[in-house]
Each structure stands twice: as C-alpha cells, then as structure tokens.
C-alpha cells in the first residue's frame, strides 16, 4: 500500500476510534466473548483457518474479516438458540456458524463468489468430522450470504437459521469495519489509488445504506442497523474531511 493510502487508512481508523462501539458489543458482550472462546478452542476451526491461509490470495478481505464474521455468527447463535435448545445442540450450532464464517469468502475474488465459495467449501469439508446434513447447512449458508440477491430456500429450520446468522454477521462488517479494515484490504489487493477510492466513494456509501433493511435474524434486525449507522457516520466524516476541507487531506 502506498504512502497516501496508508495515511488515509490511519485517518479512517482515527475517526472510527472517536465513534462509540456498536451496541451489539456493548449489550451482548458475554455471548460474543463466549463465541470467541469456543472459536479459539476448536480443532475443526483451526483446520479451517489453515485452509483459508493457504488460499489467502483468493479471499480479498483477509483473515481478520473471516474471524470476525465467524465469531459474531456464533454469538448470534448463542443469543437466539441458547435459551431454547439443549447446550450440546447450541455448541454444535455455534461450531457450524464458526466454520461457515471462516470459509464463507474462500473464493471471494471470483464472480458469483458466494456460490463458488460454497462449492469450494463442500470439497474441503468432505474430509471433516461432520455429517452430510451439517455440510449441507454450512454450504447452504455460504451460498446465501451475498448481498442484494435472493437467498435460496432451505427447508431445514436449523439450516435457515445458520444461513441468516452468517448473512447478518457478514453484514455487520459493513459498519465501522468497512472503513477500518475491509476497504483497505480490497484497495491493497486490487492495487487502486486513493483517487479511485474517492471517485467511487459516494456510490459505495449508497450501497451500505441499502444493507440497513436486509438483516434476517431477530438479533440482526435489532443490532444490524446500528452497525450501518455508525459505519455511515465514519465514512461521511472521512470523505468530507478529505474532499471538502482545504489542507486536511491526509
């Protein structure tokens, strides 16, 4: 990443630090931390992370992104399934959410990346200690995570929930993370200039706003718009400062 882009990234992160963290991490801190512990302790998750690192040139967003998606998808599962399912079932659902989160962008830089990533995940998971039903749920969720396209119908309620949880955790990243991590990962991967970023910035912001009403789980509908609103605040402060104020461009 060139010096101008590096300064812009630092400036965006500086703005983000001035914005309060999303309500999800304040009000659901216990579930997020529990999901993180389960994520860190799972041998299957570690194997999936190894597979992703081996293919990191194909995923665009980077390991930080997939870890956050996986942990938040697991937290959503704890929040919504914890009160109603036996704990062994809840832990298994969290594991599936973690695996789906780690693998969801494994072919991110290809056309129709959700479907292609689902196909790649199916091949990789064939050797894992998972049932065919569980693999189908994971790959169904991965195939359904792309924004602005209808989700394929999934008959099994648990598979539908997994799909919705993965989608929402992925779209949480369209909040503050978009301007602290995701944008810069993509810029570095594609070798574009800051001027190119700014040229497309407002159109990109409109896309982020459209995500606000697409969350699928009960938890996502409660907390997702807050992520988006905070991301929009960061993005507009970043853009307006760089573009409209003389002498303040990083």
Q: What is the pLDDT of residue 60?
A: 60
Q: What is the pLDDT of residue 62?
A: 76
Q: Considering the domain boundaries, does residue 233 fall inside one?
A: yes
Range of the domain at 209: 3-244
Mean pLDDT on 154-173: 96
pTM score: 0.93
Instruction: Give yes or no for residue 139 having a pLDDT over 70.
Output: yes
CA separation, residue 179 to residues 10, 82, 185 (Å) = 10, 32, 10
Q: What is the pLDDT of residue 58?
A: 61
Tally of domains within the chain: 1
Long-range contacts of 119-122, Cβ-Cβ distance < 8 Å, separation of 24 or more: none
Q: Considering the domain boundaries, does residue 118 fall inside one?
A: yes
Instruction: Give yes or no for residue 84 having a pLDDT over 50.
Output: yes
Please, what is the end-to-end C-alpha distance for the chain in angstroms? 15
219, 80 Cβ separation under 8 angstroms: yes
Percent of the chain with pLDDT over 70: 95
CATH number of the domain at 218, please. Answer: 1.10.3210.10
Instruction: Give yes or no for residue 195 having a pLDDT over 60.
Output: yes
Q: What is the pLDDT of residue 249?
A: 47
Q: Considering the domain boundaries, does residue 91 fall inside one?
A: yes
Q: What is the pLDDT of residue 140?
A: 97
Distance CA 90, CA 79 (A): 10
117, 104 Cβ separation under 8 angstroms: yes
Q: Considering the domain boundaries, does residue 18 fall inside one?
A: yes
Instruction: Give yes or no for residue 247 having a pLDDT over 60.
Output: no
Mean pLDDT on 33-53: 96
Mean pLDDT on 147-170: 94
Task: Give residue 244's Cα distance to chain centre.
Answer: 31
* Ordered alpha helix ranges (H), 82-112: 87-103
Q: Considering the domain boundaries, does residue 249 fall inside one?
A: no
Mean pLDDT on 60-65: 79
Instruction: Give yes or no for residue 246 having a pLDDT over 50.
Output: no
Q: Considering the domain boundaries, does residue 250 fall inside one?
A: no
Instruction: Give yes or no for residue 72 having a pLDDT over 80.
Output: yes
The closest alpha carbon to 146, from 115, 103, 175, 102, belongs to 115
Phi-psi region of 112 (alpha: psi -120 to 50; beta: other; left: phi over 0): left
Please, what sign has the CA dihedral across residues 148, 35, 116, 161? negative
Mean pLDDT in the chain?
Answer: 92
């Amino acid at each position: 990443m060139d010096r101008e882009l590096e300064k812009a990234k630092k400036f965006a992160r500086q703005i983000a630090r001035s914005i309060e963290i999303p309500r999800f991490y304040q009000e659901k801190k216990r579930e997020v931390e529990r999901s993180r512990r389960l994520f860190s302790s799972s041998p299957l998750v570690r194997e999936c992370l190894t597979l992703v690192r081996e293919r990191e040139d194909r995923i665009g967003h980077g390991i930080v992104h997939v870890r956050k998606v996986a942990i938040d998808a697991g937290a959503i599962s704890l929040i919504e399934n914890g009160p109603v399912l036996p704990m062994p079932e809840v832990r298994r659902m969290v594991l599936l959410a973690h695996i789906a989160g780690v693998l969801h962008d494994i072919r991110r830089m290809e056309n129709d990346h959700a479907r292609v990533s689902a196909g790649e995940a199916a091949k990789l998971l064939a050797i894992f200690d998972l049932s065919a039903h569980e693999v189908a749920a994971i790959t169904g969720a991965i195939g359904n995570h792309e924004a602005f396209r209808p989700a394929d119908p999934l008959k099994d309620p648990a598979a539908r929930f997994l799909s919705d949880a993965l989608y929402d955790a992925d779209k949480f990243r369209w909040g503050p993370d978009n301007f602290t991590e995701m944008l810069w990962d993509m810029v570095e991967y594609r070798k574009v200039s800051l001027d190119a970023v700014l040229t497309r910035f407002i159109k990109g912001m409109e896309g982020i706003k459209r995500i606000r009403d697409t969350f699928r789980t009960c938890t996502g509908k409660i907390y997702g718009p807050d992520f988006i609103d905070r991301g929009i605040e960061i993005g507009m402060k970043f853009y307006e400062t760089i573009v409209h104020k003389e002498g303040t461009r990083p």
